C-alpha cells in the first residue's frame, strides 16, 4: 500500500489560517468592556434617581401627582423694614400635558384646605405656593425735606439713624467718604443758632431737593418738592443747644443730648394763610411788556387752579381767556442765590395745592406768561 504525502505551499497555509480566524469560535465579546459599560449605566441611573428624589422632596405632597416632571424650584424672600415682616414666596415649574393639567387641576381644587401654605393658582403647569398672605405695605412719611407720605416699599432706610427717605430726598447729601448721607434735619444741623441752621438747611438741602423733585415730576414720577414751611416747623421745635454736625451719619456720639421732636412723624399742617403774588405778563403796545401784579392771602389747602381763578377775577380778568393759553411759572432762588423760575404743567393745576409749591422768601410768586417771554429769554420783573 502506498502512502500519499501532501505538502501545502505557503500561500495555501496562510489561506487556511485566515479562514480559521473568521470562524465563530473567535467571535467573543470582551468581558471587561461589557462590565464597565454596565457599571456606567448603573451609575447614571443612580444619579438620576438621587436627583429625582431630591426634587421630589421639594414638592409638596398634595401636588406630587400633578408635578411628576419638575424643572425648577425657587424660594424668594422680601423684607418690609417698617413692619419688620418677611414674605416668603415658593414656586415650582414643571412640564405636563395641558389637557392633563386641567383635569388634575379640578381634582386639586376639590381637596379641602390642602395645607397651611395657601392657595394654589394653576397656570399652564406653574404653581405658586405662598407661605403667608400677601402683606400690603404700610405708609410712612419721608423724613427728608418733602415730608410726603409714601408706601413703605418706596422709601429707603438710611444708615444707623434709621430715617426713611423718598427717591427725591435720597442722594442729595453726601458724607465725607462720598457715601449717601441723610437729608433729615436732625442729621443735617449746621450752625450755632436756629436761624443759621435754617439758612444752611434751606440752601444746601431744600433747594437741591426742589430741583431734583421738579425734574422727577416732569418725568411723571410721584414726588413732592420741599416747602419752606416744613423746615421752619421742625426748626421751631428743635432744642436750643445743638451740637455741631460731624457730617457723618454713622457717628451719633454728638447727638446724645437731642430731644425728640414732637411733630417729627406727623404731616406739617400750616393753619396760617399764604401770601400769593400773581404776575400777569402780556404784550403791550409798541412792542413793550405789561406787568400786572395781583396779591392776596390764600389758605394753604387751596388748589392752584382755584387760586389763579380768584386772583384773575380780582383784576377783572377772565380766567377762561387767560389760564388755557398761558404758561405758568413759580419764582425761586437758584443755588447761586439768583432769582429764577420753574414751569408748572397745566396737568398739575387741579392737583397741586398752594402749600406744595416752593416759595420765594415769605410768599409764593406765580408768573403767568401770555406770550412766551420766559422761553425767549426776556427779563421778567419778579419784585
What average pLDDT does the chain have?
70
**326: burial class by Cβ within 10 Å (0-12, 13-18, 19+)?**
buried
Provide the 3-class DSSP secondary structure of residue 73. strand
d(CA 212, CA 171): 10
Euclidean distance between CA atoms 62 and 153, whole angstroms: 34
The pLDDT assigned to 64 comes to 74
**Residue that is written with C-alpha cell 419721608 in the block:** 142
Q: Tell me which residue has cell 406727623.
A: 266
222: helix, strand or coil: coil
In a domain, 261, yes or no: no
Asked whether residue 145 falls in the same domain as residue 249, the answer is: yes
Asked if residue 68 and residue 123 are part of one domain, the reply reads yes
What percent of the chain is modeled with pLDDT above 70? 59
Are residues 254 and 231 in contact, defined by beta-carbon separation less than 8 angstroms?
no
pLDDT tens, 98-110?
Answer: 444 444 554 455 5
| Residue that is last in its domain, among 130, 149, 170 | 130
Cβ neighbours, 10 Å, residue 311: 22
- Residue 263 in any domain: the answer is no
Looking at the fold, whether 122 and 145 belong to one and the same domain comes out as no
- Do 123 and 166 share a domain, yes or no? no
Q: What is the pLDDT of residue 309?
A: 92
Q: State mean pLDDT over 244-255.
A: 37
**CA contacts within 13 A on the Cβ side of 147:** 22
Rg (CA), the chain: 40
Structural domains of the chain, count:
3
Query: Do the Cβ atoms of 174 and 180 come closer than 8 Å?
Result: yes
Same domain, residue pair 323 and 340: yes
Cα–Cα distance between 59 and 73 in angstroms, integer?
Answer: 8
Is the residue at 118 inside a domain? yes
Considering the domain boundaries, does residue 102 fall inside one? yes
DSSP H/E element including 195: helix 194-201
Band of residue 45 on the pLDDT scale cut at 50, 70, 90:
low
**320 lies in the same domain as 360:** yes
Q: Tell me: do 296 and 341 sit in the same domain.
A: yes
Task: Please report whether residue 23 resides in a domain.
Answer: no
What average pLDDT does the segment 56-75 reach? 76
| Per-residue model confidence (pLDDT) at position 286 | 74
Indicate whether 131 pLDDT > 50: no
Would the pLDDT of 348 be above 60? yes
Structural domain for 183, as ranges: 139-255
Residues 250 and 307 in one domain: no
Rounded (10°) CA dihedral 13, 17, 18, 21: 170
Distance CA 296, CA 99 (A): 72
Once rounded to an integer, what is the mean pLDDT over residues 304-317? 91
Judgement on whether residues 332 and 229 belong to the same structural domain of the protein: no
Whether 235 shows a pLDDT value over 50: the answer reads no
In a domain, 266, yes or no: no
351: domain CATH number is 3.10.20.90
- Which one has a higher pLDDT value, 45 or 155? 155
Write the Ramachandran bin of 60: left for phi over 0, alpha for psi from -120 to 50, otherwise beta: beta
State the Cα–Cα distance between residues 73 and 55, nearest whole angstrom: 8
pLDDT top residue among 252 and 168: 168
pLDDT digits (tens, 9 = 90+) for 174-227: 888 878 888 888 888 787 777 788 888 888 899 889 988 888 887 778 888 887
Amino acid at each position: 500500500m502506498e502512502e500519499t504525502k501532501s505538502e501545502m505551499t505557503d500561500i495555501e497555509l496562510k489561506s487556511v489560517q485566515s479562514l480559521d480566524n473568521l470562524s465563530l469560535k473567535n467571535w467573543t465579546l470582551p468581558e471587561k468592556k461589557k462590565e464597565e459599560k454596565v457599571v456606567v449605566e448603573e451609575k447614571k441611573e443612580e444619579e438620576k434617581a438621587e436627583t429625582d428624589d431630591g426634587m421630589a422632596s421639594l414638592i409638596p405632597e398634595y401636588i406630587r401627582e400633578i408635578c411628576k416632571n419638575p424643572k425648577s424650584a425657587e424660594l424668594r424672600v422680601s423684607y418690609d423694614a417698617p413692619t419688620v415682616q418677611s414674605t416668603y414666596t415658593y414656586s415650582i415649574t414643571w412640564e405636563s400635558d395641558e389637557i392633563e393639567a386641567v383635569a388634575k387641576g379640578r381634582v386639586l381644587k376639590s381637596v379641602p384646605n390642602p395645607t397651611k401654605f395657601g392657595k394654589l393658582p394653576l397656570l399652564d403647569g406653574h404653581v405658586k405656593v405662598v407661605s403667608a398672605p400677601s402683606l400690603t405695605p404700610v405708609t410712612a412719611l419721608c423724613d427728608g425735606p418733602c415730608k410726603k407720605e409714601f408706601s413703605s416699599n418706596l422709601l429707603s432706610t438710611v444708615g444707623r439713624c434709621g430715617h426713611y427717605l423718598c427717591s427725591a430726598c435720597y442722594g442729595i447729601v453726601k458724607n465725607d467718604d462720598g457715601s449717601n448721607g441723610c437729608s433729615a434735619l436732625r442729621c443735617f444741623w449746621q450752625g450755632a443758632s436756629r436761624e443759621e441752621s435754617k439758612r444752611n438747611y434751606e440752601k444746601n438741602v431744600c433747594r437741591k431737593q426742589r430741583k431734583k423733585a421738579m425734574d422727577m415730576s416732569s418725568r411723571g414720577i410721584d414726588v413732592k418738592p420741599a416747602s419752606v414751611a416744613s423746615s421752619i416747623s421742625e426748626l421751631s421745635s428743635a432744642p436750643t443747644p445743638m451740637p455741631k454736625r460731624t457730617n457723618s451719619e454713622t457717628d451719633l456720639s454728638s447727638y446724645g443730648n437731642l430731644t425728640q421732636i414732637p411733630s417729627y412723624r406727623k404731616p406739617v399742617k400750616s393753619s396760617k394763610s399764604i401770601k400769593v403774588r400773581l404776575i400777569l405778563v402780556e404784550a403791550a403796545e409798541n412792542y413793550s411788556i405789561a406787568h400786572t401784579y395781583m396779591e392776596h392771602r390764600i389758605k394753604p389747602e387751596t388748589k392752584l387752579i382755584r387760586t389763579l381763578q380768584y386772583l384773575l377775577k380780582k383784576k377783572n380778568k377772565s380766567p377762561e381767556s387767560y389760564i388755557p393759553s398761558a404758561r405758568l411759572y413759580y419764582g425761586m432762588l437758584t443755588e447761586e442765590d439768583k432769582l429764577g423760575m420753574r414751569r408748572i404743567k397745566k396737568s398739575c393745576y387741579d392737583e397741586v395745592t398752594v402749600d406744595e409749591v416752593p416759595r420765594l422768601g415769605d410768599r409764593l410768586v406765580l408768573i403767568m406768561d401770555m406770550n412766551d417771554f420766559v422761553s425767549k429769554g426776556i427779563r421778567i420783573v419778579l419784585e
